[in-house]
Structure 1
C-alpha cells in the first residue's frame, strides 16, 4: 500500500482531488489531500509545506504529487519526508532560488500561450475558465470546482524557492496534451531542461483530475511499481 500525498494548485482546495482519491482508495491505497493556506497572507511556501507535512504525520510509502502551482510545494515536502516517488501533474517546475512570480518570464510562458492560441483559435489563454481550465470537465462538476475555489495570496510569489537543488527522489512528470493553461509544448521543452526527464503524456485539460480521474489514478499507481 502506498500513501498518495496530493497537493492542489493555486486558489484551490484538496477537494480538487476527490475523484482521484476515491479511485486510489478503491485500489487499497491511503490518500492525504490537505487544503493549503493559499488565502492566508502570512503563509508562504514553507508554510504550505508545513501544512502537508503535518497532514502526512507518520505515514510511510509516500508518493508526493503536485498539480500546477503545487509543483513549487511538492519538492519541499519530498525533501523533508521519506518519499518513494515525486510526481508533478501539469506542475510548475521551479529552479533553485527562483521566485514563483519570476517563473512565467523565465520559462517563456507568454510566448508558449501565444503560439498555442494561434493554433486553437484563442482558446488557450482565454479568460473564461470553462474554456481555459475546465473544458473537458462535466459542467456541473466544473461549476462546483469554481464554487469551491479560494483567493490566492501573493505572499509566496515573491520569495525565492528555498531548495538549492532538486530533491534526490525519483521524479516523474505528467503532461496534459489538451491543457489550455500550460501549453503542452511548454512542458515538452522545460521538463527535459530543468529535470532531465521526458514527460509522460496523457489526454486531458489542466483539471485532468476532475475530467479523467481513473486514468490519473492508474498512472500514479503505475509509478509505485516502477
Structure 2
C-alpha cells in the first residue's frame, strides 16, 4: 500500500485551524498532512488564488498517494486544485458541491439550501426564518472547550470568493467521496443527499456530527479518510 499524504482545505474564512484536530490524529498515524490556510478576509483573493495556494501547499514532488479534502465552501477550491494535482482521491465534507460556471454566491439559491434548512428547522422545533446564529448552526455539537477557541479563529469570507466562478467544464477525473453529518443544521442531511446525487451521482456516507464535524468528531473523520484511502489504493481499486 502507498502511504497517503493529506491536503486539508478549510471552508469559509479559510482558517487552517478548522482541521487541526483531524490533522493531529492523522500525524499520530504517521501520515503527512498539510492544512492549508486561505486568506478568507482578503478581497483581492478569489478561487484562482485559493487554488494556487492549495496546489503550492501540496508540494511539487508528491506524485503518489495525494488525498485532497475540502470542507463546506472548500469543496469549490479542493475540486479546482484536483484538476491541477496528481490527486488520487478527493473527499468532500459537508460540502458545497459546485457546478460548471457556478459561483459560491449562486450555489445557495441554485441548490435550494434555504428552503431545505427552513423545513429542517421546523421539523426539529427551531423557529424557521430566524436570524442566523452561529451557536445554533455551527457550534451546537462542539466540546465546550472548543467553542471559545473557535471564536478566536473566526474570520469573515470575502465577497470576492462568493462572486468567483467554478471554472471546470466537468467534475475532475478523480475518485470522489462525500462525507456528511447527520446533525448538520446548515446543510441538513436530506439536502446533502439530494445535492450529492444530483450533482455527482454519489450516495454520501453519513456519520454523527454537525457542520464542523472535523472539530466535533476528529477521530471518526480521520478514520473515514483512512478508510476511503484504503478503498482507492492498490492496483485493483476502483474510483
Tell me, yes or no, whether TM beats 0.5. Answer: yes
Alignment of 1:115-134 (within 5 A): 115-122=119-126, 127-134=132-139
- Equivalenced residue count is 226
Q: Does residue 1:90 correspond to 2:94, yes or no?
A: yes
Find the counterpart in structure 1 of residue 27 from structure 2. 25
Alignment of 1:31-180 (within 5 A): 31-57=33-59, 58-60=61-63, 61-122=65-126, 127-180=132-185
Find the counterpart in structure 1 of residue 206 from structure 2. 201
SS at match of 1:80: coil
The CA deviation at 1:140 is 2.0
* Structure 1 gap segments, 5+ residues each: none
Find the counterpart in structure 1 of residue 226 from structure 2. 221
Residue by residue, what CA displacement relative to the aligned partner does 1:31-87 show, whole Å, maximum 9, x if unpaired? 011111211111110100111111111234111000010011011111100011101
Alignment RMSD (CA, Å):
1.3
Residue by residue, what CA displacement relative to the aligned partner does 1:114-157 show, whole Å, maximum 9, x if unpaired? 11000111178763322211111112212211211112110021
Q: Relative to 1, partners in 2 of residues 1:133 and 1:119: Cα closer, same or farther, differing over 3 Å?
A: same
State the alpha-carbon separation in 2 of the partners of residues 74 and 126 from structure 1.
30
- Farther off after superposition, 174-183 or 140-149: 140-149
Does the Cα contact within 8 Å between 2:209 and 2:216 map onto a contact in 1? Answer: yes
TM-score normalized by the length of structure 1: 0.96
Does the Cα contact within 8 Å between 2:9 and 2:36 map onto a contact in 1? Answer: yes
Does the Cα contact within 8 Å between 2:142 and 2:215 map onto a contact in 1? Answer: yes
Structure 1 segments of 4+ aligned residues over 2 angstroms from their partners? 123-128
* Structure 2 gap segments, 5+ residues each: 232-239
- Farther off after superposition, 109-118 or 124-133: 124-133
